[in-house]
């Protein structure tokens, strides 16, 4: 009898601990309480090792020395020097969203950029490999997933060749996303002189209670003059060679101009977190030669600097249209309310999601939000040509795209890199891509959606309750 009382007391203490720690994040608290009730005791151990609030960036701020501060201040000054004419432009005075983005001191808008948009893996990979082949000073590469397959081997061989030619090559990968990347692959790079680093090694982060965090960024910077980022990882499936998905639709970018400096800055901050090496040499931040006229704002986000506010602002500031493409749609309550409010206000709100899931739990959670948004008037479409992995938000004449999904993990638990595009040509291209994707998508009608089986509805309810965890 005594042991039953002790077990109950322990269970109550665990419940109380989760409620006290997560009281500011009620959705997350509910999700963990469900896990605790399904798996008593074990659920709390899982919570202890997985749910710890991330503090690495706080550590970085405490340790941040004058080198990083001076570097960032210098980059901000360079960016503002090239964008000083904005203050005289009616374009910025008339649009509240534009003006608010311009006034964010830590995320400056950059000028003189040239953007290339890629909608398929083959196009993007060939452009990356071509740029890497022409590198003269350095190559910085960072991906969430890197495969040791055909395209992964092409990157490996080229990086080895450039390192042997004397080009400085730094290579970062996420410990969880690239957990299948073999030691032999890394050893071949290291033997050739490539410096490698693992962001959050699984075993280390498990005991350090950071297992739930990922570096989801996809970055290539060549000589500090051209930068690539977007939704693609390195693997054959991103070229449409996975039988399960077939054609792979993604959105990736290359940039020339001042925005590259902030992609570089993001990479070198990540490098510092992994390797504790401070790299602030001016050679890595060269004067940009681009004569482009595009304005681009690079936005890096993570557990301590969420992108959620930006996404919310893009939705609530729209007056005519909100177009969203995302492989995972698990909005937080604020974004959900903003979408409902927008469509009730007469704004054209359309969302494209995959028809074939790659993660069933996340897919069922996504569907759980569809009905209430359909009832409000949001139009949903299921992409039919293959798997859509593009991550794009179009709000009137602004567009935001990069590595961030429309889900809680991207909002709060992953390191992401996005860009806001202000240029009409780039936004027009992304709108054209959106309509092209609509043409190969089936619209989800409320009358048909309500015919789902009881079993599927139950799966959706359960997935939604757990959605704050992923």
- Residue 296 CB contacts under 8 Å (≥ 6 apart), including other chains: 109, 110, 113, 115, 255, 257, 259, 419, 420, 421, 422, 423
Q: 76: closest CA among 323, 335, 265, 331?
A: 265
Task: Note if 391 is an active site residue.
Answer: yes
3 state DSSP class of 267: helix
Question: How many helices and strands (H and E) does the chain possess?
Answer: 19, 18
Task: Name the catalytic one among 389, 433, 437, 459.
Answer: 389
Q: Is 60 exposed, middle or buried (0-12, 13-18, 19+ CB in 10 A)?
A: middle
Task: Note if 140 is an active site residue.
Answer: no
Q: 47: closest CA among 35, 55, 30?
A: 35
Task: Name the catalytic one among 391, 433, 437, 459.
Answer: 391
Task: Note if 304 is an active site residue.
Answer: no
Task: Report DSSP letters for 40-93, one per residue.
Answer: TTHHHHHHHHH-PPP-HHHHHHHH--HHHHHHHHHHHHHHHHHTGGGGG-HHHH
The widest CA-to-CA distance across the chain, in whole angstroms, is 79
CA-CA distance, 279 to 270, in Å (whole number)?
11
Burial track 22-51 (b if 16+ CB lie within 10 A, e otherwise): beebeebbbbbbebbeeeeeebbebbebbb
3-state secondary structure string across 361-404: HHHHHHHHHHHHHHHHCCEEEEECCEEECCCEEEECCEEEEECC
* 40: Cα within 13 Å, side-chain hemisphere: 7
CA-CA distance, 385 to 352, in Å (whole number)?
12
Task: Note if 389 is an active site residue.
Answer: yes
Task: Note if 223 is an active site residue.
Answer: yes
Task: Note if 218 is an active site residue.
Answer: yes
Q: 403: closest CA among 421, 389, 416?
A: 416
Q: Which two tokens stand for residue 322?
A: 């909100």
User: Which residues partner with 323 through β-bridges?
Assistant: 350, 394
Strand positions, DSSP E, 302-452: 321-325, 348-354, 379-383, 386-388, 392-395, 398-402, 414-421, 441-444
Among all residues, which ones are annotated catalytic? Answer: 216, 218, 223, 389, 391, 396
């Amino acid at each position: 009898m005594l042991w039953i009382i002790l077990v109950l007391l322990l269970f109550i203490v665990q419940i109380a601990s989760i409620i006290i720690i997560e009281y500011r994040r009620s959705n997350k608290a509910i999700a963990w309480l469900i896990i605790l009730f399904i798996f008593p005791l074990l659920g709390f151990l899982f919570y202890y090792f997985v749910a710890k609030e991330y503090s690495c960036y706080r550590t970085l701020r405490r340790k941040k020395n004058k080198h990083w501060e001076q570097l960032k201040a210098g980059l901000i000054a360079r960016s503002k020097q090239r964008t000083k004419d904005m203050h005289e432009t009616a374009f910025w005075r008339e649009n509240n969203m534009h003006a608010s983005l311009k006034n964010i001191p830590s995320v400056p808008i950059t000028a003189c950029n040239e953007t290339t948009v890629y909608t398929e893996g083959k196009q993007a990979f060939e452009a990356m490999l071509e740029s890497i082949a022409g590198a003269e000073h350095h190559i910085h590469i960072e991906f969430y997933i890197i495969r040791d397959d055909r395209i992964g081997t092409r990157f490996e061989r080229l990086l080895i060749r450039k390192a042997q030619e004397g080009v400085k090559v730094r290579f970062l990968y996420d410990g969880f996303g690239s957990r299948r990347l073999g030691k032999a692959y890394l050893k071949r790079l290291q033997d050739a002189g490539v410096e490698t680093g693992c962001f959050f090694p699984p075993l280390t982060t498990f005991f350090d209670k950071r297992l739930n965090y990922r570096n989801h960024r996809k970055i290539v910077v060549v000589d500090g003059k051209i930068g690539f980022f977007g939704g693609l990882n390195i693997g054959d499936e991103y070229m449409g060679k996975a039988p399960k998905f077939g054609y792979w639709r993604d959105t990736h970018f290359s940039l020339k101009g001042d925005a590259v400096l902030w992609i570089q800055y993001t990479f070198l901050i990540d490098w510092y977190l992994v390797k504790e090496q401070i790299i602030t040499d001016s050679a890595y931040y060269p004067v940009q030669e681009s004569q482009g006229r595009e304005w681009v704002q690079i936005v890096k986000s993570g557990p301590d600097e969420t992108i959620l506010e930006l996404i919310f602002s893009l939705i609530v500031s729209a007056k005519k249209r909100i177009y969203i493409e995302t492989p995972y749609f698990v909005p937080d309550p604020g974004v959900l309310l903003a979408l409902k409010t927008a469509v009730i206000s007469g704004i054209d709100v359309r969302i494209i999601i995959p028809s074939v899931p790659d993660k069933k739990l996340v897919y069922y959670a996504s569907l759980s939000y569809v009905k209430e948004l359909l009832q409000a008037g949001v139009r949903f479409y299921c992409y039919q040509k293959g798997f859509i992995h593009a991550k794009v938000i179009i709000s009137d004449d602004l567009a935001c795209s990069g590595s961030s999904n429309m889900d809680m993990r991207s909002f709060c638990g992953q390191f992401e890199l996005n860009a806001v595009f202000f240029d009409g040509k780039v936004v027009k291209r992304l709108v054209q891509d959106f309509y092209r994707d609509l043409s190969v998508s089936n619209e989800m009608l409320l009358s048909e959606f309500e015919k789902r089986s009881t079993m599927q509805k139950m799966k959706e309810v359960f997935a939604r309750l757990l959605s704050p965890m992923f």
